[in-house]
């Protein structure tokens, strides 16, 4: 039987189904297979023109060689199971793409194991949610470069487009694509937490109602903060509950969920020795939010500090403070994520081009933002830059915002409004910009109690020395 399709999709959940439709829209002849047959029948009934594979062997048989199969199943064991079943039928040179949010260490393991069988495995981050998958996601593929070349025309077709091209690039070998996607999600956590904290100050600190907050976010979306997350935030504040006519956002329980990519980002940063406190603060904030019962009980014992009413005439100045602080803190969060990618790229010799990463994050993905234009330019000027805040333009934004940012964090601390991500970003900035830190004392203590040695400022060349501190 001649091959009827040139692209296969395994898994017809929301993301898999939308990507299958997107690939078909861009000229691919797509064969599909889903473990639960009824879901596949429903998909095929609603969308004629797809090749109906009855089982994995049928899917493989339907595809032109070298085959290309996108696996969109839940990250974890299901990916191993599908890869194993596929590999029993595939031929050397065929490509399996894992488009789920897989842990990059799993991707490294799978890539190695499948390469031994002559199969090529591409771990590909996909961002943009349902709508992105259907209309144009940001794609972060990693694996063997030849495998990417085989996929490139199709991936460029389905990816989101910006004036800087299609939002897809070859990230690097083995786990580079999934690592990049993981860090994207880490930045997403920080960005969302910063927006939540800004909302809290607008609401409790300045006293704005939901409609006024929606207007503020709409206004911010016209300037340097312009981004997908700010845009949807403005919309969220306008939505009313059908039954009660109340603002729906007020009816949402304040307990944030998480699926794990934010935690993985923090774990990877700890392992690679990169400080990402803005992202870690966002993770902690979700954890604390989830402890609702205990918070409610504690709130009975610890009242808020006194908080004055902001006079109407001062409101705009206070809103501007939040705007500037948000911009500066956001630069810090992106800088931390990019530093983490740099560290992983060096540790695993992935050679990730961060200018390209900024470029493919400009469209399709959840953290798409105007700021990424400046980030792209910054890496265009200095490819190996460790800390993005060192860039003249981004650093200029932070310098300009700093007085407002400091005033905001200081006041919020005094008023008892928790701003963990704003504050963590500010203290990170104050650390990385300081030529002199108090860790001379830390070293002295370590040497005093454990003879761990230290280096003398007045003779660095001499290397580690030890002193008797406690005699």
Q: Where do contacts with ligand 6PG occur on this chain (CB under 6 A)? A: 101, 127-129, 185, 188, 257-259, 261-262, 365-366
What's the Rg (C-alpha) of the chain?
Answer: 25
| Annotated active-site residue in 111, 181, 330, 356 | 181
183 or 408, CB closer to ligand 6PG? 183
Sign, CA dihedral 130-133-138-141, equals positive
464-465/30-33 β-pairing: unpaired
CB of 97 to ligand 6PG, least distance (A): 16
56 or 158, CB closer to ligand 6PG? 158
Sign, CA dihedral 278-282-283-285, equals positive
286 or 342, CB closer to ligand 6PG? 286
CB of 329 to ligand 6PG, least distance (A): 19
Query: Can 468 be counted among the known catalytic residues?
Result: no
Cis bond leading into 66, ω under 30°? yes
94 or 188, CB closer to ligand 6PG? 188
**Residue sitting closest to ligand 6PG (CB):** 127
User: Residue 365 in contact with residue 127, Cβ under 8 Å?
Assistant: yes
User: Residue 182 in contact with residue 268, Cβ under 8 Å?
Assistant: yes
| Annotated active-site residue in 188, 321, 339, 356 | 188
Query: Can 181 be counted among the known catalytic residues?
Result: yes
Number of other CB atoms surrounding residue 306 within 10 Å: 8
CB of 269 to ligand 6PG, least distance (A): 16
Within 8 A by CB and 6+ apart from 188, the residues are: 229, 262, 366, 367
Q: Quote the CA–CA distance of 308 and 204 in Å, as a whole number.
A: 10
Sign, CA dihedral 148-151-153-158, equals negative
126 or 389, CB closer to ligand 6PG? 126
CB of 17 to ligand 6PG, least distance (A): 15
CB of 77 to ligand 6PG, least distance (A): 18
CB of 155 to ligand 6PG, least distance (A): 16
Report CA dihedral (226, 227, 230, 234) to the nearest 10 degrees. Answer: 80
User: Residue 8 in contact with residue 1, Cβ under 8 Å?
Assistant: no
Q: 137: which 2 tokens?
A: 């996601």
Q: What is the DSSP letter of 462?
A: G
259 or 400, CB closer to ligand 6PG? 259
Q: Which of 14, 236, 26 is CA-nearest to residue 136?
A: 26
Burial (Cβ within 10 Å: 0-12, 13-18, ≥19) of residue 303: exposed
Active site amino acids: 181, 188
């Amino acid at each position: 039987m001649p091959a009827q399709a040139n692209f296969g999709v395994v898994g017809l959940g929301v993301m898999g189904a939308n990507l299958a439709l997107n690939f078909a829209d861009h000229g691919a002849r797509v064969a599909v297979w889903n473990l639960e047959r009824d879901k596949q029948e429903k998909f095929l009934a609603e969308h004629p023109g797809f090749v109906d594979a009855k089982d994995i062997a049928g899917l493989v048989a339907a595809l032109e060689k070298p085959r290309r199969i996108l696996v969109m199943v839940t990250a974890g064991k299901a990916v191993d199971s599908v890869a194993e079943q596929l590999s029993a039928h595939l031929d050397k040179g065929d490509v399996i793409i894992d488009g789920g949010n897989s842990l990059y260490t799993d991707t490294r393991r799978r890539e190695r194991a499948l390469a031994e069988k002559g199969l090529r495995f591409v771990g590909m981050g996909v961002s943009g949610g349902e709508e992105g998958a259907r209309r144009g996601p940001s794609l972060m593929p990693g694996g063997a470069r030849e495998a990417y070349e085989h996929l490139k025309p199709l991936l460029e077709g389905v990816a989101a487009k910006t004036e800087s091209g299609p939002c897809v690039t070859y990230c690097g070998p083995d786990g580079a694509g999934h690592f990049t996607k993981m860090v994207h999600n880490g930045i997403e956590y920080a960005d969302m937490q910063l927006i939540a904290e800004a909302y809290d100050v607008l609401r409790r600190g300045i006293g704005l109602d939901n409609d006024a907050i929606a207007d503020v976010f709409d206004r911010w979306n016209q300037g340097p903060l312009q981004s997908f997350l700010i845009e949807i935030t403005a919309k969220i504040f306008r939505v009313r509950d059908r039954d009660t006519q109340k603002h729906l956002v007020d009816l949402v329980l304040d307990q944030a969920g998480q699926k794990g990519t934010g935690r993985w980002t923090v774990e990877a940063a700890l392992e690679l020795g990169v400080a990402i406190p803005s992202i870690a603060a966002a993770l902690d904030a979700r954890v604390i939010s989830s402890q609702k019962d205990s918070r409610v009980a504690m709130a009975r014992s610890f009242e808020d500090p006194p908080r004055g009413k902001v006079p109407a005439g001062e409101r705009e100045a206070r809103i501007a403070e939040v705007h500037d602080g948000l911009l500066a803190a956001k630069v810090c969060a992106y800088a931390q994520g990019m530093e983490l990618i740099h560290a992983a790229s060096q540790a695993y010799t992935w050679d990730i081009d961060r200018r390209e990463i900024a470029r493919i994050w400009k469209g399709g993905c959840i953290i798409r933002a105007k700021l990424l234009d400046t980030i792209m330019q910054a890496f265009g000027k200095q490819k190996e830059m460790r800390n993005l805040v060192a860039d003249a333009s981004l650093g200029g934004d932070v310098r300009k915002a700093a007085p407002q940012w400091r005033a905001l964090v200081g006041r919020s601390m005094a008023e008892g409004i928790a701003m963990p991500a704003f504050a963590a970003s500010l203290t990170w900035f104050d650390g990385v910009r300081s030529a002199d830190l108090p860790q001379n004392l830390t070293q002295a203590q370590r040497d005093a109690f454990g003879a761990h040695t230290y280096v003398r400022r007045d003779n660095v060349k001499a290397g580690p020395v030890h002193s008797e501190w406690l005699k």
